[in-house]
Copies of this chain bind each other. A is one copy, B any other.
Amino acid sequence: MPRESVKDQIIAAAVDALHSKGFNGTSVQDITDAAKVPKGSFYNHFGSKEELAVAALDRYWQLVLAGLQPLSDPSTPPMDRLRQYFRRLAERGRTREYRTGCMIGNMSTEMPDQSRAVRERLAVVLAAWSRAIESCVREAQADGSMRRDLDARIVAAFLLNSFEGAIMRSKVDKDAASFAAFEEVVFTALAP
């Protein structure tokens, strides 16, 4: 197996640091220290901390994308897939003691007016995430397990945004109450 490149090491360290401390809470030095590479090597690979933030977002998005797969698994009814999907995300919050939250949500709160590049990348990523949820919503409406008087695209965006709000609240309260409220309200109120 090829040795992980310096660039990869920096991106991996950046995902950890940016996820837990945010863009403004992390210096280039923090990242190169964590990656165990000389600070000077940073600018061989990235023009700026902002450019690295985009690369870290892309790396994090790959993880989110992998987690989306069960949403299109035809062996499980679509409404169950949706419920299980959000439960898995909530469970991940619990195992991390509701600390870091979602890096995409964190960046969406901190960075849109600080970096156009990050904002544009966030918009693309959130739109793709919404679309993956939308397909499953559409299937649930088609098989009659979800109410049909709401547009699937709008329901999907609402679910994603609401869940990000639940993550935010769990960071403050350090408990799963916001996730439980999300599940109860969503799956009661969207039933046909």
Contacts and interface: CB of A to CB of B under 8 A. Distances in A.
A158 B182 contact: yes
A171 B108 contact: yes
Dominant SS among interface residues on chain A: helix
A161 interface: yes
Interface string A21-57: 1101100000000000000000000000000000000
Contact of A161 (B100, B157, B182): B182
A95 interface: no
A4 interface: no
Copies of this chain held together in the complex = 2
Interface in A164-192: 164-166, 168-169, 171-174, 177-178, 180-182, 184-185, 188-190
Interface residues of A, number: 52
B114 A25 contact: yes
A40 B146 CA distance: 61
Contacts of A119: 172, 174
B168 A162 contact: no
Interface in A56-114: 98-101, 105-106, 108-110, 112-114
Contacts of A165: 105, 160-166, 168
Interface in A111-133: 112-114, 119, 122-123, 126
A12 interface: no
B157 A177 contact: yes
Given A157-B177, A189-B189, A164 B172 contact: no
A149 interface: yes
List 6 A-B pairs, minimum CB-CB distance, nearest first: A165-B165, A189-B189, A24-B24, A162-B162, A161-B165, A24-B25
8 contacts: A22-B22, A105-B168, A109-B109, A109-B110, A112-B172, A150-B188, A157-B177, A158-B181
